[in-house]
Structure 1
Amino acid sequence: MTQSPSAGKIFTTALIVTGNMVGAGILALPINLGPAGLLPAVGGALAVWALMTTTGLVIARQPFLAQNRDADLPTFFEAVLGPAGKWISVAANLVILYGLLTAYLAGVASVAVNSLDVALPEWAVLLIYFCPATLLASFGEMVLRRGNALLMTLMWLLFGTLLLLVIPHFKGGDPMAMDMTFFTSGLPILVVAFNFHNVVPTLCRSLGHDRRAITKAIWLGSGLGMAMTVAWTVAVMATLPMEAANGVDILTAFKLNQPATVPLDKLINSTVFVDASIAFAVVAMSTSYIATGVALMSFLKDVTKDTVRSPAVRWVMAFLPPLAVGAVYPDIFLKALNVVGGLGVGTLFGILPGLLLVRQGAPGSRMRLAGWCVIAFFTLVLIVEVGQEAGMLRISPDVEYWTAIRNQYGR
Structure 2
Amino acid sequence: MMSRPSSVTSATIAQTFVVPRSRPAMISFSDIRRCSSGPSLRPHEQHYRTLIRDTKFRATKSARRDTLGATMAVCPTCGRDVGDASYCPHDGTPLAHLGRGPAAMPSLGDVVDGRYRLLSELGKGGMAMVFAAHAEALGQEVALKVLYPRWGDHRKTVARFAREARATSQIDHPNVVKVYDFGYAPEGFYFLAMEKLDGRPLAGMVAPGKGLRPGRAIRFLLQIADGMARAHELGVVHRDLKPDNVMVRREGGRETLTLVDFGLSKITEGDGAPVTAQGDVIGTPDFMAPEQWQGLAVDARADVYAFGVMAYELLSGELPFGGDTLIQKLQQHLYSVALPLGDHPRVPRLPEGLSDLVMRCMAKDPVDRPPHMGRVITTLLEIEERSRAEDAERTRAGIGEPPAATIMQAPDDVGMDRSGLTSELRRLTRVRQA
Computing the radius of gyration from Cα coordinates, the structure with the larger value is 2
Between Structure 1 and Structure 2, the one with more helix by share is 1
Larger relative contact order (CA 8 Å, sep ≥ 6): 1
Q: TM-score range by the shorter chain?
A: under 0.3
Between Structure 1 and Structure 2, the one with more strand by share is 2
Q: TM-score, normalised by structure 1?
A: 0.25
